């Protein structure tokens, strides 16, 4: 079945760039997403990319999509302590893209 995989932990220094990687299995995915989950807070959509795009940039966030390798990455420039959270990669599948498959999440720790 469909599967989304991520490394579970990432630790970076404040001010450095963070790169969170994700692989997925369903080649029919129409959209791929990055969500952020902070302690005690709900999931928040950070950004998403349509499957026919290679890259999307949004302020400090850069998403790269390699559709051939089914690899998605999220780069956070100038990482701040407020970026510490769990980041989930997700793909939408199904006839209308209605079924979302999430990865296990990468816990990003930003060290001062």
Helix (H/G/I), strand (E/B), else coil: 82: helix
Q: How many CB atoms lie within 10 A of CB 33?
A: 22
Q: Which of residues 48-67 bind other proteins (CB under 8 A)?
A: 48, 50
Residue given tokens 């079924």 in the structure block: 99
Site string for other proteins, 88-107 (x = CB under 8 A): x-x-x-x-xxxxxxxxxx--
The nearest distance, CB 60 to other proteins, in angstroms, is 19
Which residue, 101 or 108, has its beta carbon nearer to other proteins?
A: 101
Stretch that binds other proteins, among 36-44, 55-63, 64-72, 73-81 (CB under 8 A): 36-44
| Strand-pair partners of 58 | 61
Q: Does 30 bind other proteins (CB under 8 A)?
A: yes
The answer to whether 46 and 61 are in contact (CB under 8 A) is yes
Q: Does 44 bind other proteins (CB under 8 A)?
A: yes
Q: How far apart are CA 47 and CA 90, in angstroms?
A: 11
Which strand (E) or helix (H) includes residue 79? none
Residues at the contact surface with other proteins, assessed by CB under 8 A: 4, 30-31, 41-45, 48, 50, 88, 90, 92, 94, 96-105
């Amino acid at each position: 079945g469909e599967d989304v995989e991520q490394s579970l932990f990432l630790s970076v220094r404040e001010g450095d760039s963070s790169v969170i990687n994700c692989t997925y299995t369903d080649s029919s995915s129409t959209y791929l997403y990055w969500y952020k989950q902070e302690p005690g807070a709900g999931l928040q959509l950070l950004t998403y990319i349509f499957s026919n795009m290679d890259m999307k940039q949004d302020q400090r966030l850069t998403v790269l999509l390699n559709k051939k390798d089914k690899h998605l990455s999220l780069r956070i420039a100038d990482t701040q302590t407020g970026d510490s959270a769990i980041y989930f990669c997700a793909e939408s599948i199904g006839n209308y893209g209605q079924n979302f498959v999430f990865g296990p999440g990468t816990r990003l720790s930003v060290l001062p």
